[in-house]
Chain A
Amino acid sequence: MRHDSGRHRGDRLGLLAAATVGVVGLAFLYQQQTRNSVPQRRGDSAPGRAARRARFGRYAVVGRTVTIARPRSEIYAFWRDFSNLSSFMENVRRVEETGEVTHWTIAGPMGRDVHVESRIVADRPDSEIAWRSTGNSEIDTEGKIMFRDAPGDRGTEVEAIIAYVPPMGELGRWVAKAFQTEPHLQGRRDLKRLKMLMETGEIATSALRKTPS
């Protein structure tokens, strides 16, 4: 008896699964039949990193734009003095510019420091700074920061784009995310801190005291 009822239950489940597949299949076919089809899509105005399917090879590309209510020249000048960067970039411990190259010490996942040496590949005052890592770097990366006038006297649109080859690929990216050192998250937060500093002269904190007691 027990075996029989078990088999019947199995049959019923199988029937239910088949019916579900059937209904979903019919819905899919119906949608295929009735939707407006587009033979070929043209490019749109959005930045490439917002594409549903990105094609940057081994590189992960991240970016973010913020509007800062200050003139372009002021923000450019602040950024171009690389010694300022560690004041708003949380994971950047040190930035030293020596001659042609800049040496970055970045706090990586699991308490490990990451060293990157970069060279400026474009520097257009008040509008763009671009850099690329040299062979003496632990991470293969390039990036640029762009400054353009925001419409309606809102100040400056600051856009950062960073491309990098994640160490250990997609897995490394997840580890970095878990340690809150992943460049997308970091970039977003760093730009917001830059905005705070430029607009208010300080970086907001909800701490009760300077050092936790």
Chain B
Amino acid sequence: MRALTWHGKHDVRVDTVPDPEIINPRDAILEVTSTAICGSDLHLYDGVIPGMMSGDIIGHEFMGRVVETGPKSTLQKGQRVVVPFTISCGSCFFCQKTLYSACDNSNPVANQDVSENLYGHAMSGLFGYSHLTGGYPGGQAEYVRVPFSDIGPIVIPEGMEDDDVLFLSDILPTGWMAAENAEIEEGDTVAVWGCGPVGLFAIQSALLMGAARVIAIDEFPNRLDLARKLGAEVIDFKQTRVLDALMDMSGGLGPDAVIDAVGMEAHGFAPDTILDNIKQNVGFGADSAHALREALMAVRKGGRVSIPGVYGGFVDKFPLGALMEKGLKVKTGQTHVQRYTDELLRRIGEGEIDTTFLISHRLPLEEAPTGYKNFRYNQNDWTKVVLKPGMTSA
């Protein structure tokens, strides 16, 4: 089959690789019909996520048609399904508590050692996202093997288009959980750093959950426009001092809740960012955390901090004092996708949530490297790229 493979920093290629096959009883094989490039794939593209090996198939936002099932799979051939990026067994302590992204049993044992040493506990398995999380071949391919196919995949009724539901795999539930983690109360002012796909869905979700105002922070005009269309007020951090603006816009109180939808590759011209980036590039394992530092300074006393942005290592100059002295509450984590898919599918079906506004480009799988390059370096125009393995090159 053809698949997008990683070969090093800024080097992804579409290669011919062996087709997957059923290995375990609960497996299924999908023929992928749509798969998206995620903002977190750019962390792989930039080479800042450890545990990648040359030839790894990446991609964790995908959907397709079931073509083969193991004896214990509950799926049927021909069904259309969206697959959560988190691989979850459904029966361990964590899955039982609906903490699906903390599943104990989905990361192959030999792959657990690194994260157990790095974080104190092993991470669960994720599709196409480094060997720290299992080294599972991802979904930016013609076919994909889906383990625990009786737990993760959500069956899509005929009549709903791929583009309507594809984002149930990651970014829609991630934005939703980000807003849920902000514990929004009626009348709240919520500030969101980053108007990428997750930030935009967090804005949409926060408004649905009753936020009176959402203030979105980014620098790219097109992304800020999308935020504005969803109902947010916006701050362009290249022309405005963010902390001063947020204080004044929230009546001197500070936002009730803040959401860091940026993560470990915060950019921009701030002294801490420059230092962070130097350390990141020489391999100190340091994350760039400008957005998070700013969010912790901005949030009101007793406020809530939600971190959907991905971090992987260590952070310097972390304003721990602000966290303690202001009595803040922090919630974060990889998304427990399976917890949200049913409800979000219903909301999409009832027309309450639209996700297609985000898609700027649809490309054949063969043109994935072009997609990566532009999604990385032309963030203003390329807001979301969907790859279609069945589409022929123009």
Most buried by A among B17, B19, B20, B93: B93
Question: A213–B20 Cα gap in the complex (Å)?
Answer: 11
Q: Which residues of B contact A206 (CB under 8 A)?
A: 108, 111, 125, 134-137
B17 contacts A200, C-beta separation under 8 Å: no
Interface residues of B in 105-154 (CB under 8 A from A): 105-113, 125, 134-137, 145, 147-148
A207 at the interface (CB under 8 A from B): yes
Residue B77 at the chain A interface, CB threshold 8 Å: no
Starting from the known contacts A154-B93, A206-B134, 16 additional A-B residue pairs (CB-CB under 8 Å) come to A69-B93, A192-B109, A195-B92, A195-B105, A199-B104, A200-B90, A200-B91, A201-B72, A202-B25, A204-B105, A204-B108, A204-B125, A206-B125, A208-B17, A208-B137, A209-B23
Q: Which of B20, B104, B110, B135 contacts A209 (CB 8 A)?
A: B20
Chain B proximity of A89: nearest CB distance (Å): 11
Q: Considering the complex, give the chain B residue whose CB is closest to the CB of A70.
A: B91
Q: A67-B93, A69-B93, A208-B145 are in contact. Are A196 and B105 (CB under 8 A)?
A: yes
Taking beta carbons and an 8 Å cutoff, which residues of A are in contact with B? 67, 69, 154-155, 180, 185, 189, 192-193, 195-196, 199-210, 213
Q: How far is the CB of A11 from chain B (nearest CB, A)?
A: 34
Report yes or no: A202 in contact with B24, Cβ–Cβ below 8 A: yes
Chain A interface main SS type:
loop
Q: Would you call B18 and A204 a contact (CB within 8 A)? A: no
A sample of 8 inter-chain contacts (CB < 8 A) reads A195-B105, A196-B89, A196-B105, A200-B105, A203-B109, A206-B108, A208-B18, A209-B20
Contact (Cβ within 8 A) A69 B92: yes
The 9 closest A-B pairs by CB, nearest first: A202-B24, A206-B136, A200-B89, A189-B109, A206-B135, A196-B105, A192-B109, A206-B134, A208-B20
The CA of A139 and the CA of B134, in the complex, are separated in Å by 33
- Docked Cα-Cα span, A192 to B24, in Å, equals 17
Once A196-B105, A201-B26, A204-B105 are accepted as A-B contacts, the answer to whether A209 and B111 lie under 8 Å apart by CB is no
Question: Distance in Å from the Cβ of B272 to the closest Cβ of chain A?
Answer: 30
Taking a contact as CB atoms closer than 8 A, the residue among B19, B91, B136 that contacts A69 in the complex is B91
Residue of B nearest to A208 (CB): B20
In contact, B23 and A201 (Cβ under 8 angstroms):
no
Q: At the interface, yes or no: B370 with Cβ under 8 Å from chain A?
A: no
Pick from B21, B92, B109, B148: contact of A193, CB under 8 Å: B109
Which B-chain residue is minimally distant from A185 (CB atoms)?
B113
Identity of the chain A residue whose Cβ is nearest the Cβ of B107 in the assembled complex: A204
| Distance of A64 from chain B, by nearest CB (Å) | 11
Which chain B residues border A189 with CB–CB below 8 Å?
Answer: 109-110, 112
Whether B109 and A209, one on each chain, are in contact in the complex, defined by CB atoms closer than 8 angstroms, is no
Judge whether B240 is part of the interface by a CB distance below 8 angstroms: no
Chain A, residue nearest B125 (CB): A204
Query: Which residues on B sit within 8 Å (CB–CB) of A209?
Result: 18-21, 23
Contact of B105 among A199, A210, A213 (CB under 8 A): A199
Assess whether B108 is in contact with A210, with CB atoms less than 8 Å apart: no
Q: How far is the CA of A205 from the CA of B127 in the complex (A)?
A: 12
CB contacts (< 8 Å) of B356 on chain A: these are: none
Give Cα distance in the complex from A196 to B25, angstroms.
13
CB neighbours (8 Å) of B109 from chain A are 189, 192-193, 196, 203-204
Q: Chain A nearest CB: distance from B376 CB in Å?
A: 26
A180 and chain B: residue at smallest CB distance: B110
Q: Which residues of A contact B25 (CB under 8 A)?
A: 201-202
Whether B96 pairs with A69 at a CB distance below 8 angstroms is: yes
Report B-chain residues with C-beta under 8 Å of the C-beta of A69. 91-93, 96
> Chain A residues with Cβ under 8 A from B91's Cβ?
69, 199-200
Given the complex of chains A and B, what is the CA–CA distance between A185 and B114 in angstroms? Answer: 12
Complex: how many Å from CA A208 to CA B26? 15
List residues 68-122 of chain B with CB under 8 A from any CB of chain A.
72, 89-93, 96, 104-113
When chains A and B are docked, how far (Å) is the Cα of A202 from the Cα of B91? 12
CA distance A192 to B125 in the complex (A): 14
| A203–B147 alpha-carbon span in the complex (Å) | 10
Q: Within the complex, what minimum Cβ distance (angstroms) separates A196 from chain B? A: 5
> Which of chain B's residues have a CB closer than 8 A to the CB of A67?
93
B112 CB contacts on chain A under 8 angstroms: 189, 192
Closest to B26 in A: A202
A196-B105, A204-B107, A204-B147 known; A210+B21 contact, CB < 8 A? yes
Give complex CA distance A205, B105 in Å: 10
Does A199 contact B89, Cβ atoms closer than 8 Å?
Answer: yes
Residues of B within 8 A of A201 (CB): 25-26, 72
Closest B residue by C-beta to A88: B109
B219 to chain A, nearest CB (A): 38
Nearest chain A CB to B181 CB, angstrom units: 25
Residue numbers in A under 8 Å from B21 (CB-CB): 208-210
Given the complex, which residues of A lie within 8 Å of B89, measured CB to CB? 196, 199-200, 204
Q: Which of chain B's residues have a CB closer than 8 A to the CB of A195?
A: 92, 104-105
Task: Kindly state the separation between the CA atoms of A209 and B25 in the bound complex, as whole angstroms.
Answer: 13
Say whether B26 contacts A205, CB under 8 Å.
no
Q: Distance (Å) between the CB of A158 and the closest chain B CB? A: 13
Closest to B104 in A: A195
Q: Which residue of A lies closest to B133 (CB)?
A: A206
Tell whether, in the assembled complex, residue B20 and residue A205 are in contact, meaning their CB atoms are under 8 Å apart: no
Closest CB-CB distance, A67 to chain B, in whole Å? 7
Question: Once the chains are docked, how many angstroms separate the CA of A206 from the CA of B129?
Answer: 12
Residue of B nearest to A154 (CB): B93
Determine the distance from Cα of A136 to Cα of B370 in the docked complex, in whole angstroms: 64
Q: Which residue of chain A has the shortest Cβ distance to B70 in the bound complex? A: A202
Q: A173 CA to B102 CA in the complex, in Å?
A: 33
Query: Which residues of chain B are within 8 angstroms of A204 by Cβ–Cβ distance?
Result: 24, 89, 105-109, 125, 134, 147
